[in-house]
């Protein structure tokens, strides 16, 4: 059953991890997908993979924190596919540290990528999502359902030591989600957030062997210290981290017509962590 047949979905951070898994699953369910990432190679490779499997995909490279990104990617989406049905704000990374040693740049970086970037992207999509819905309501008495899915974290719900910047930004995503659900629900736009726990991505790999990303002149080491990761696994109700594919499943539900009356919800996808 193709739950997303003919829908156009824009996914940020689609080059790796949860974003890439979501793109594959969306495409398998019939969506036409716009794949956004800071790095060109992974999204171009994924777009080629999806096309080879019979899907439709557009790779778009850009930095979600740049002032021009939102308007450019929305314009590219509308030009290529002629519409937008699902917006997934997934892009992000972690830059951990305790509050008393954190400088302004480290604090601001997390707010920029996790909170300001989704805000700008939703705002750039507003003329299409909101105004098109108003025209549909005037012409037909109702607008078709459209979806916004914001990615948050259990760190934004419960806090997490060593992640004051990330936790604050992800908590802000929850406020953004609930407010937009109230503002745009009347236009049949359902806005929800998925809060992930311990999912296998490069952000949760062993830090000792983890990747480094470059932000300006700052090299940021990704991952979780190996001893901490072992402790999380030991006390996790399911005894393991979730896979990106398991993380992507709830997104498909929220993007589909099965969730047309689900609005303003914060769905924790944790395998029971935090209960």
What value does the mean pLDDT take over residues 210-224? 65
Mean pLDDT of the chain: 91
Residue 220 has pLDDT above 80, yes or no: no
DSSP helix/strand/coil, 190: strand
CATH number reported for the structural domain that contains residue 126 in this entry = 3.40.50.720
In a domain, 229, yes or no: no
Domain-embedded: residue 255: yes
Helix, strand or coil for residue 99?
Answer: helix
Helix runs in 141-184, H state only: 154-158, 164-184
For the segment 231-250, what is each residue's pLDDT rounded down to a tens digit?
A: 667 778 888 888 999 999 99
| pLDDT surpasses 80 at 202 | no
261 catalytic residue (yes or no)? no
pLDDT in tens, 53-68: 999 999 999 999 999 9
User: Please, are residues 151 and 173 in contact by the beta-carbon 8 Å criterion?
Assistant: yes
Residue range 198-216: mean pLDDT, rounded: 66
CA 113 to chain centre: 11
- Check pLDDT > 60 for residue 4: yes
pLDDT score of 51: 98
Closest to 7 (Cα-Cα) out of 38, 32, 36, 34: 32
Q: Which regions of the chain does DSSP assign to beta strands (E)?
A: 8-11, 32-37, 56-61, 86-89, 146-153, 189-196, 212-215, 218-221, 266-269
Across 183-192, 214-223, 230-239, least confident range: 214-223
Question: Domain range spanning residue 165?
Answer: 8-199+243-269
Classify residue 35: in a domain, yes or no: yes
The answer to whether residue 99 is domain-embedded is: yes
The mean per-residue pLDDT over the stretch 90-102 comes to: 94
Please report the pLDDT score of residue 231 as a whole number: 61
Catalytic pick among 93, 166, 196, 261: 166
**Does residue 228 carry a pLDDT above 70?**
no
Q: Within a domain: residue 227?
A: no
How many distinct structural domains can be found in the chain? 1
Residue 204 lies in a domain: no
For residues 84-104, average pLDDT: 95
The answer to whether the CB of 153 falls within 8 A of the CB of 165 is: no
For residue 66, is it within any domain?
Answer: yes
Give me the pLDDT at residue 272, please.
87
**Residue 62: inside a domain:** yes
């Amino acid at each position: 059953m193709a739950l997303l047949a003919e829908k156009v979905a824009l996914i940020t951070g689609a080059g790796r991890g949860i974003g890439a898994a979501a793109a594959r699953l969306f495409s398998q369910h019939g969506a036409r997908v716009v794949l956004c990432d800071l790095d060109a190679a992974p999204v171009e490779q994924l777009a080629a993979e999806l096309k080879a499997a019979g899907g439709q995909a557009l790779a778009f490279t850009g930095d979600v924190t740049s002032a021009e990104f939102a308007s450019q990617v929305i314009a590219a989406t509308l030009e290529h596919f002629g519409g937008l049905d699902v917006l997934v704000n997934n892009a992000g990374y972690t830059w951990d540290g305790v509050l008393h040693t954190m400088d302004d740049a480290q604090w601001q970086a997390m707010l920029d990528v996790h909170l300001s970037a989704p805000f700008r992207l939703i705002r750039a999509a507003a003329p299409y999502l909101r105004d098109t819905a108003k025209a549909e309501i005037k012409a037909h008495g109702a607008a078709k359902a459209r979806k916004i899915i914001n990615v948050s974290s259990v760190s934004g719900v419960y806090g997490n030591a060593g992640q004051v910047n990330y936790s604050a930004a992800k908590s802000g995503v929850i406020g953004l989600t609930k407010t937009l659900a109230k503002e745009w629900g009347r236009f049949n736009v359902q806005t929800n957030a998925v809060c992930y726990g311990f999912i296998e991505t490069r952000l949760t790999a062993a830090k000792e062997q983890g990747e480094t990303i470059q932000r300006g002149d700052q090299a940021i080491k990704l991952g979780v210290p190996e001893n901490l990761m072992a402790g999380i696994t030991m006390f996790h109700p399911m005894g393991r981290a979730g896979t990106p594919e398991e993380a992507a499943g709830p997104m498909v539900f929220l993007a589909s017509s099965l969730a047309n009356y689900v609005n303003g919800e914060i769905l924790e996808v944790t395998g029971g962590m935090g209960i």
